[in-house]
């Protein structure tokens, strides 16, 4: 029984896993203590695995909460090599734990060259080679950050939600469509750089996955819990040692 926790920039996602997901949830940082109530009716985990990119404050609070279970807690950090994936980062430990877990999940599911996209507050576009090497990737402001940046740094552009349109005819739609296509362009650029024969698979996760998916070329697959899936793979390998 594994409790996997992905503490991201804006939200904390968690899942209880035992062969399949027995429970899944999401909470905002400001409501982190609500996790105690969310977990109280779940089976007790045998181990807990956490990827935290939300900072020390969130990490400290999670540390307090998971003490209630009295089991081993594994705080994930990127390594040179783990679960079949080799890390090409100049300083491997500086790669975000969430990106590392997502790359491991992608390799676990695909075992082939692929582009791994986590579309949250920030969007990461990472590349795995056909032999399981994390080649590197991009970090880009997500749709909401692009929208907020334009509203903050220009005099005439308001913070409004628009819709994607092929040819936008109002400002809100122009901003939304521009953000979506900018991100999709980054994904397709990385996929093109990786291409060797057939088009590589793109695995897409995160809160904005649904906004990007219709505008990306196939093959593209949405995987809602890619980071959590990677955390489970990491925990399972550690347990087997």
Annotated active-site positions, please? 98
Helices (H), the chain: 35-39, 56-66, 97-110, 143-153, 171-194, 209-212, 226-240
Instruction: Give the residue among 101, 110, 109 at the shortest CA–CA distance from 75.
Output: 101
Q: How many CB atoms lie within 10 A of CB 53?
A: 17
**Could you tell me if residue 4 is left (phi over 0), alpha (psi between -120 and 50 degrees) or otherwise beta?**
beta
Contact status, residue 227 vs residue 205, Cβ threshold 8 Å: yes
- Quote the CA–CA distance of 174 and 164 in Å, as a whole number: 8
Distance, in Å, from the CA atom of 158 to the CA atom of 154, rounded to the nearest integer, reads 9
């Amino acid at each position: 029984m594994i409790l996997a926790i992905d503490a991201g920039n804006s939200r904390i996602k968690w899942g209880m896993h035992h062969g399949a997901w027995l429970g899944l949830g999401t909470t905002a940082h400001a409501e982190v203590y609500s996790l105690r109530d969310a977990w109280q009716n779940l089976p007790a985990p045998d181990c807990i695995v956490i990827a935290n990119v939300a900072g020390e404050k969130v990490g400290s609070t999670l540390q307090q909460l998971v003490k209630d279970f009295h089991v081993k807690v594994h705080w994930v950090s990127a390594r040179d090599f783990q679960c079949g994936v080799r890390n090409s980062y100049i300083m491997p430990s500086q790669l975000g734990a969430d990106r590392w877990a997502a790359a491991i999940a992608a390799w676990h599911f695909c075992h082939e060259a692929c582009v791994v996209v986590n579309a949250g507050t920030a969007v990461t576009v990472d590349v795995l080679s056909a032999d399981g090497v994390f080649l590197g990737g991009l970090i880009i402001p997500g749709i909401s950050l692009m929208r907020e940046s334009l509203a903050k740094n220009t005099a005439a552009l308001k913070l409004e939600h628009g819709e994607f349109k092929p040819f936008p005819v109002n400002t809100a739609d122009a901003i939304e469509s521009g953000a979506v296509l900018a991100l999709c362009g980054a994904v397709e650029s990385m996929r093109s750089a990786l291409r060797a024969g057939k088009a590589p698979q793109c695995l897409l996760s995160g809160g904005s996955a649904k906004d990007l998916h219709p505008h990306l070329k196939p093959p593209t697959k949405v995987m809602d819990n890619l980071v959590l899936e990677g955390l489970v793979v990491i925990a399972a390998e550690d347990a087997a040692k």
